[in-house]
Amino acid sequence: MRKFRAPFRKAIFICTQKRPDGHPVPCCANRGGMALRQELREMVKNEELDMELKVFTSGCLGACEHGPVAVRYPEKEYLLGITKDDLPEIMDELLED
Ligand code: FES
């Protein structure tokens, strides 16, 4: 195993888990997770913050009933029921400190 320091200060993992239609458990893909991830990535890129903040795609984060869901680090904080309107606030909070 090799280790090296990640070249970004903060990260957010946005769930884009997709489940088959009719599955009894909801999924973030059907609640807009993919579009949220893409839009947040574009915001980061447009602000030239690529080296500061990374937006990752995630599989299920275990809070499916509250999707779309994300978790951010280093805060170790879940974000539940994210909407497009929340993205500016998420960006601002990710850039604090
Ligand atoms: S499908 Fe997104 S948290 Fe489970």
Question: What are the residue ranges spanned by the domains of the chain?
Answer: 10-94
pLDDT of residue 50: 83
Q: What is the DSSP letter of 35?
A: H
Alpha helices in the chain (DSSP H): 33-46, 87-94
For ligand 1, pick from 28, 31, 37, 57 the residue to mutate: most ligand atoms within 8 Å of CB.
28
Give the homologous superfamily in CATH for domain 10-94: Glutaredoxin (3.40.30.10)
Residue 79 contacts residue 16 (beta carbons within 8 Å): no
Residue owning tokens 């400190």: 97
Considering only CA atoms, which of 43, 51, 40, 44 is closest in space to residue 15?
40
The finding on whether 27 has its CB within 6 A of some atom of ligand 1 is yes
Say what the pTM is: 0.93
Tokens for 26, please give them: 């909801």
What digits encode the pLDDT tens for the residues 24-45? 999 999 999 999 999 999 999 9
- Reported confidence tier of residue 96, pLDDT bands at 50, 70, 90: confident
pLDDT of residue 20: 95
Give percent of the chain with pLDDT exceeding 70.
99
**What's the pLDDT tens digit per position in 70-81?**
999 999 999 999
